Amino acid sequence: SAVISQKPSRDICQRGTSLTIQCQVDSQVTMMFWYRQQPGQSLTLIATANQGSEATYESGFVIDKFPISRPNLTFSTLTVSNMSPEDSSIYLCSVGETGLSYEQYFGPGTRLTVT
Amino acid sequence: AQSVAQPEDQVNVAEGNPLTVKCTYSVSGNPYLFWYVQYPNRGLQFLLKYITGDNLVKGSYGFEAEFNKSQTSFHLKKPSALVSDSALYFCAVREKTGGFKTIFGAGTRLFVKA
């Protein structure tokens, strides 16, 4: 299994500003994912971040709002841009390794509150 | 399109009693099925998975789940619940030929009362 850390663990931000969330994995992984989770609710996939190529965004999420970087096989960032209170949520980084395992592993999450 | 249904928002059970958390799914092909657990203020943890083979799979913390293809279900079970099992449980599905995109259910909150 992979050990995943996220920074920051939580933040309170003002509307109109941007926040970059970092995800670090203790081993090289092929696929990294970013999810959004409203407190006590299910997970919604924002995008899949693949090293060496553009991130793939799910319906309802766009690159201008949620730019993602994946500079190497152990690190990714998600930026939440021009934030509004509707962006208040928990953001989770997740990893998977095609061909070797099937399950995903999740970071502890970043709790974002936009005021 | 893939989908997962967890019909119960909440399940209450007394400590020592058996527990079941229900999950049904819909995929166009054969599924990979998963259960994850989320404790308060923590990320999701993998519990168990069905990939192929024996329909009864065993996972962490004494949990097990049974894959039922005819009923398209993958219910999570444990013979004897512990108070520490209280958490939010997510069922998830992925099509075997659908890449790595996983769909999560809405979640079921389990309360185990001492």
Picking from A3, A9, A43, A94 by the largest number of B CB atoms within 10 A of its own CB, the best residue to mutate is: A43
Average pLDDT over every residue of A42-64: 91
Contact A34, A102 (CB under 8 A): no
CB-closest option in B94, B100, B104 to A42:
B104
* Nearest Cβ partner for A45 among B51, B101, B107: B101
Confidence class for position A100, pLDDT limits 50, 70, 90? low
Q: What is the sign, positive or negative, of the torsion defined by CA atoms of B6, B68, B37, A65? A: negative
Neighbours of B21 (CB within 10 A): 25
Q: Distance (Å, rounded) from C-alpha B99 to C-alpha A98?
A: 9
The C-alpha atoms of residue A50 and residue A38 are separated, in whole angstroms, by 25
Question: Region B53-79: what's the mean pLDDT?
Answer: 95
What confidence score (pLDDT) does residue B27 get?
87
Q: Kindly report the CA angle at A77 between A71 and A81, in degrees rounded to 5?
A: 130
Predicted local confidence at residue A50, as pLDDT: 81
Task: Respond yes or no on whether the N-terminal peptide bond of residue A8 is cis (omega within 30° of 0).
Answer: yes
**What does the pLDDT look like over B31-50, one tens digit per residue?**
899 999 999 877 889 999 99
For each of the domains in chain B, give its residue range(s) and CATH number, in order of start.
3-113 (2.60.40.10)
Q: How far, in Å, are A58, A90, B47 from residue A44 at the CA level? A: 9, 11, 20
d(CA B12, CA B56): 24
Residue in B6, B10, B25, B38 to test binding to A, most A beta-carbons within 10 Å: B38
pLDDT value of residue A99 = 56
Q: Indicate the pLDDT class of residue A25, thresholds 50, 70 and 90.
A: very high
Centroid of chain to Cα B2: 16
- Whether residues B46 and A104 touch (CB distance < 8 A) is answered with yes
